[in-house]
Structure 1
């Protein structure tokens, strides 16, 4: 696959935001050594040529005037070298987070060392707002049942507050927790307009380490889930992962009893001719990402338009969801 410059959502000296297509691995692995988003980005940046950047001319710092000229020159050179290291372009951009191969949407990279530290700290402290769009249905396979209860709380405050950087889900009023064990006869009913906090550690499945489950050996994971619309058995969801665990949204939904349309791992095999069979990838799209930009610290939101295959699926099977997306953009 060749890199399409239209995939670039934002680019400046410090940051790069890209709309990753489904089916593309982000970073090289032993299975995918060169057909990755990373390789495509490096090729794209190489074609742009090296960025001509030099540290700005700055006045001498207080106290330097008492030093001999040779010492002042040395101090200026050291400061310039430090600025080149901190503010100059890195040899290669740094990925700040990952998306699964069959998930599309916003991916953010840092292009300078100071931006890497500043943006990376926001990810580590869970202050980045990541909004995913998903279509799910009740009926996850039995193996997805949690190995320890998934705690589910219904939040009682509107979503807009949770779309602001630095707002933590635990600070939002919520109902008492429900403990989902997987032994329930039916999945929890998720009414349209409801807002939920899913809280359960994510670990590798002991039976198959290529997939994940909620379990006691996992890392803490929280996902905020909002039900945007319903059409027949399908739910149109907005998911905000607060933490960033592998397969987090898919594993949390599966523990709740729901599977994504098109998911090859966490959903049962679709019957031929059904809407589930009409999509050859999982319906999970990293729609937007809000972060404080470096260096001005202004909150910015990067939005990745839906891919063509997701848009066509919604047109055919869930047109009301398209109207909601258009209204949100």
Structure 2
């Protein structure tokens, strides 16, 4: 689907590409440069270079053409299916698996595995993420709900939008807490200095994370997080923002950390109303072996 934006500049003396990056946080700097080069960005109805300094009052029209859908092939990859019926699948995604194909990860994803398991998956507008209604990061393990048809997809997406479902995460984070629980309410958007990262930024999208401290060890803590919103890297960004980055996090955490296969973050509990029956369904899965091993080591050294 092609998206179009019309922006009116309120601050001057900033490069066109930097201005667009700050206003359209879902677009990478590389994608913005491509759009400018392809004349999909017009300033006062004229094409300009990325180095153009925007002026107060400039009207900028941005057209973002739909990307060509990726061809997704079924792959015989084992799945840990927790629940399945004619409408939904609940799967326990292993750490290290990407949810759906994207640049740099064209195959070996959860979607490839799901397509081998069943052809009954709700279609998505993008084409490359059938059945997917929410995601977790590659190195985050745990529960995901999958829609098998259009009504199920609509219902599950509506529950996410209205915050009526339940998502609880377990995380091992750096440092200790003086409080037993807290709420982080801080907007998240693309990091203006590193486009591969997200960050708490003034013009970001609303993001709310509730956390509860479960155990404390020397230099680390085990916490439970409940998401009120679902922004990219939300827990990882929020915990780093308050000085307690997730252990093992290669993007937002320190180099000296627990040894593992990425961040120690696990989607442990998932609850939602069944899209057809309205029955409340709730599932819980234990963290992966390496998570449990590090916890045991921390408890011994407590």
**2:182 paired with 1:196:** yes
Q: 1:40-65: CA deviations, max 9, x gaps?
A: 1111225xxxx7xxxxxxxxxxxxxx
For 1:19, which of 82, 89, 92 is the aligned residue? Answer: 92
For 2:213, which of 227, 248, 272 is the aligned residue? Answer: 227
Q: Tell me the residue number matched to 1:248.
A: 234
For 1:318, which of 289, 293, 299 is the aligned residue? Answer: 299
Distance 1:277 1:288 in 2: 24
Distance 2:220 2:173 in 1: 6
Q: Tell me the residue number matched to 2:81.
A: 8
Q: Secondary structure at the match of 1:244?
A: coil
**2:239 paired with 1:258:** no
Distance 1:253 1:297 in 2: 34
Distance 1:243 1:307 in 2: 25
Q: Tell me the residue number matched to 2:261.
A: 280
Q: Secondary structure at the match of 1:209?
A: coil
Q: Secondary structure at the match of 1:38?
A: helix
**2:255 paired with 1:269:** yes
Q: Output the TM-score relative to the length of structure 1.
A: 0.64
Change (3 A) 1:277 1:226: closer
Alignment size in residue pairs: 223
Distance 1:90 1:224 in 2: 31
Q: Tell me the residue number matched to 1:30.
A: 103
Gaps in structure 1 of 5+ consecutive residues: 52-88, 139-186, 271-275, 322-329
Change (3 A) 1:319 1:296: farther
Distance 2:252 2:76 in 1: 29
Q: Mapping of 1:48-197 within 5 angstroms?
A: 90=122, 93-138=130-175, 189-191=177-179, 194-197=180-183
Cα deviation, residue 212, structure 1: 1.3
Indicate conservation of the 8 Å contact 1:105/1:287, yes or no. Answer: yes
For 2:272, which of 283, 286, 291 is the aligned residue? Answer: 291
Larger fraction in helix: 1
Indicate conservation of the 8 Å contact 2:187/2:204, yes or no. Answer: yes
Cα deviation, residue 90, structure 1: 4.3
Q: Secondary structure at the match of 2:291?
A: helix
Indicate conservation of the 8 Å contact 1:130/1:286, yes or no. Answer: yes
Change (3 A) 1:117 1:268: same
Gaps in structure 2 of 5+ consecutive residues: 1-74, 125-129
Distance 2:178 2:136 in 1: 26
Q: 1:10-45: CA deviations, max 9, x gaps?
A: 100000111111111101012111111110111122
Q: 1:285-327: CA deviations, max 9, x gaps?
A: 0001111112111111122221111122222223699xxxxxx
Deviates further, 310-319 or 20-29: 310-319
Higher relative contact order (CA 8 A, sep 6+): 1
Indicate conservation of the 8 Å contact 2:167/2:270, yes or no. Answer: yes
Distance 2:163 2:293 in 1: 33
Q: Output the TM-score relative to the length of structure 2.
A: 0.69
Q: 1:110-152: CA deviations, max 9, x gaps?
A: 11211111111001111111000001013xxxxxxxxxxxxxx
Q: Secondary structure at the match of 2:182?
A: strand
Deviates further, 304-313 or 22-31: 304-313
For 1:237, which of 223, 232, 243 is the aligned residue? Answer: 223
